[in-house]
Structure 1
Amino acid sequence: MSIADSFVAAYKKCSLITKLIGGFLILFYALSFFKESKKLLAITPGYFMPPNYYVWTLFTFIFYDDHWYCVIIDIVTLFFSNTLLEPLWGQRELMKYLLIVTVMSGLMCFFLCYFLYLFTYSLQIIFNTHIHGMIAYAAAITVAVRQTLPDDIILSLPIANIKNQHLSFICMLIVICMTLLHLVNFVYCFLFISGILVSWTYLRFYQKHGNGHHGDHSDSFEFARFFPNHLVPPVSIVANAIFSLLVRIRLCKKFERQLTEQPHQQPQSSPGHKTLSSSELRQLPVPDFRPQAVAATAAAAAVVASSTPTAAKLPQSSKPDAAGGGSSSTA
């Protein structure tokens, strides 16, 4: 099956809302050729805050991208989420996830630019920095993959085995390398990191499940478990300290032990979706999206490589050992 046939087959299987979002991505890319489109559709800190109040850009920046290869990557991200998460979560929960991650990440990036301006008084930061794209949602999908799929090896290398739990960390390193090589703006890097933090926080503490519980309190979904094993202890110290502070100021609640026996539960979704237990959810067959995904990812990688002078190298990661259990009161 050719790459074009794979895209056509994937398009036919997508839900209506996914097709609409894909259409908006293409439409906004066409609008990017107009001179004032970036100021009107992307978040520009200097125009977002008073006295201009371009607040609508908080919802339009998601669809706007002025690089065609980034649009292709965004569409591939939509394909993954539609194929992998929508059958498990339902359309309403998936759209809620997209909205929370992208809007919160956009706001975090706006406040970062504003604070940088307060320290530097550089007008370039607030008027020449444009926040746009779905890179935060791409980061959120890697977190959802970590939660939803078994911890299988997705790529076996002579120096390391890359598992689902390392996907967010490796993608983050790739984005950081691309930023250092000036292939992408620093905004993309911060949006990606914000997407990881916001999506993990939502899935860890707030996502509502059919049994009435909120979040995934399992030890295997601790924030430190996203990192290679030799980085888990120092990351755990920092994460636990932050979590204890949030509990003390009542922004988070202490975990209850009974929830640790129910990791990766299906969230409460739209009517018609049956709530499954953890064991039942793990026994479900994984949707057969790999052939199309490999083709789509190869196409995205090819267009990015053809449009950039250099490519970011995949960082090396030590081969992970068996993951150990964590404390139920850790983040």
Structure 2
Amino acid sequence: MLSSSSPPQPLQTGGSSFYAGFTRLCKGLAVVLVGGYVSLQIFPSILPYVALIPSRTIPFAWNLITAGYVEQSILGVAISTVGLLLFGKYLEPLWGSKEFLKFIIVVNLLTSICVFVTAIALYYITRQESYLYTPFSGFHGVLSGFLVGIKQILPDQELSLFILKIKAKWMPTLVALISVATSFFTVDSVSYLPTLLFGIYMSWTYLRYFQRRLETSLKGDPSDDFSFSSFFPEFLRPLLDPIASLFHWVFCGRISDSSADTRSDTLDGSPMPGSDSVDAIRRRERGARALEQRLAAEKLSAMGKLEGTSHEGAAENV
């Protein structure tokens, strides 16, 4: 069994195990993504009604909800579908189906609101009408949010992406850096970059301050390993920590208030089981156990299929 001291095993993205273990919820959401893309190809005139176009959001406010589930390209729907199925089979068992769906809905909505406000602000600053009429849509905001979830649960887990291996805690930062870098060389970067960056930020905000944890009655994750500065290299953290302290004030002093409530609820002044580093360690151990169980189940399933095939071959030879 994996422990906090044992070396992490890489999450494989290839092989037969990649196609096993997808949940019903993820399969259903994948159908929604594929169905949205197909509908858009058959009826292209519905794009202004389902995508987020800032100039039309006031009368069509439902675009803030629908935009996150509509892909405009075959590459986008392929990446979104595979990413949803892949990350969902690891996150949904740990969070629960209800919380997993809530995470997707909340992050999609908050990301769309942030993109809308940013587009309006950029228009008034630059007076470029392209910000008002660009159709924003896609599931990539939530996909980047899944990376934040993996960072929270298994920060030291190695993600094996073909020949590249990288720790999960750096994946959101790496994706953000690559997206910003490529935006200087692509014309349509405005259509995906705000959604992706706000997806990372809003996912962290939700998980940091508002997600209710299954193992305790508390909300959020106040551990230092999931702070805002943890997304950046160590040498930048002294500069970022003062900025990060503003987040505590923005969210109504939730951290200081919850800390005071926690101290008043304890008898001997010791930290409660759901606080800071203790809770972070427990969450990682729980995630590691769930991951090991899933990998073991997939291995047994593959071995069972292999044995069944060998038995059938032996019977035919007899």
> Once the 2 structures are TM-superposed, how far is the Cα of residue 135 of structure 1 from its aligned partner?
1.0
Do the aligned partners of residues 278 and 28 (structure 1) sit closer, same or farther apart at CA in structure 2, a change above 3 Å counting?
closer
When residues 152 and 21 of structure 1 are mapped into structure 2, their CA distance, relative to the original with a 3 A threshold, is: closer
Compare CA radii of gyration and give the structure with the larger one: 2
Q: TM-score, normalised by structure 1?
A: 0.72
Do 2:123 and 2:132's aligned partners in 1 also have CA atoms closer than 8 Å?
Answer: yes
Structure 1 unaligned residues grouped into runs of 5+: 266-276, 293-331
Return closer, same or farther for 1:208/1:46 CA change in 2, 3 Å cut-off.
Answer: same
Q: Partner residue of 2:52? A: 43
1:283, 1:44 → 2: CA distance? 42
SS of 1:61 mapped into structure 2 = helix
Residue by residue, what CA displacement relative to the aligned partner does 1:143-183 show, whole Å, maximum 9, x if unpaired? Answer: 10111114134469xxx983221111001111112222216
- 1:243/1:252 contact within 8 Å kept: no
Q: Give the conservation status (yes or no) of the 8 Å contact 2:22–2:86.
A: no
* Residue-by-residue CA offset, 1:235-277 (whole Å, 9 max, x unaligned): 223212x235426xx2634152731133348xxxxxxxxxxx5
Letter of the aligned partner of 2:55 in structure 1? G
Contact 1:43 1:61 in 2 (8 A): yes
Separation (CA, whole Å) in 2 of partners of 1:155 and 1:184: 29
Tell me the amino acid that sits aligned with residue 222 of structure 2.
H
Aligned to 2:184: 180
Q: 192, 198, 201: which is aligned to 1:197? A: 201
Residue 77 (structure 1) aligned with residue 83 (structure 2): yes
Q: Which moved more, 1:77-86 or 1:67-76?
A: 77-86
- Written as runs of structure 1 = structure 2, the 5 A alignment for 1:138-153 is 138-153=143-158
Paired amino acid for 2:25? I
Instruction: Return the structure number with greater helix share.
Output: 2
Equivalent position amino acid for 1:97 in 2: F
Picking from 216, 219, 230, the partner of 2:224 is 219
Offset at residue 123 of structure 1 (A):
3.0
1:23-62 Cα deviation digits (max 9, x unpaired): 111111112223322211101111111xxx1122222212
Tell me the alpha carbon deviations over residues 47-87 of structure 1, each in whole angstroms, 9 at most, x when there is no partner. Answer: 111xxx11222222122111111111101221123211111
Specify every segment of 5 or more residues in structure 2 that has no aligned partner in the other structure, as ranges.
1-13, 264-270, 300-318
Which of residues 8, 27, 50 is equivalent to 2:35?
A: 27
Kindly provide the amino acid, as one letter, of the partner of residue 243 in structure 1.
F
Q: 1:288 aligns with which of 282, 292, 295?
A: 295
Instruction: Check 1:206–1:175 CA distance in 2 against 1; reply closer, same or farther (3 A cut).
Output: same
Counterpart residue identity of residue 176, structure 2: M
In the superposition, relative to structure 1, how do residues 162 and 233 fare at CA in structure 2: closer, same or farther (>3 Å)? farther
Matching of residue 55 in structure 1 with residue 71 in structure 2: no
Which amino acid in 2 is paired with 1:217? P
The 8 Å contact of residues 229 and 244 in structure 2, kept in 1 or not, is answered as: yes
Is the 1:217–1:263 contact (alpha carbons within 8 Å) kept by the matching residues of 2? Answer: no
Contact kept, 8 Å, 1:42 with 1:132, in 2: the verdict is yes
Aligned to 2:141: 136
RMSD: 2.9
Tell me which amino acid in the other structure corresponds to 1:235.
L
Question: Which 10-residue stretch deviates more, 116-125 or 194-203?
Answer: 116-125
Measure the CA separation in 2 of the matches of 1:244 and 1:85: 27
Indicate if the aligned counterparts of 1:150 and 1:282 stay in contact, CA closer than 8 A: no
Where 1:288 maps in the other structure, the secondary structure is helix
Report percent identity of matched pairs: 25
Q: Distance in 2 between matches of 1:56 and 1:282?
A: 36
- Number of the residue aligned with 2:3: none
Q: Please say if residues 202 and 215 of structure 1, whose CA atoms lie closer than 8 Å, have aligned partners that are also in contact.
A: yes
Distance 1:136 1:232 in 2: 25
Pair 5,62 (structure 1): closer, same or farther in 2 beyond 3 Å = same
* Cα distance change of structure 1 residues 206 and 73 upon mapping to structure 2, 3 Å threshold: same
The total of aligned residue pairs comes to 266
Structure 1 position 16, deviation (Å) = 2.4
Shift of 1:221: 0.9
1:223 CA drift (Å): 1.1
Q: Distance in 1 between matches of 2:232 and 2:249?
A: 22
- AA aligned to 1:204 is R
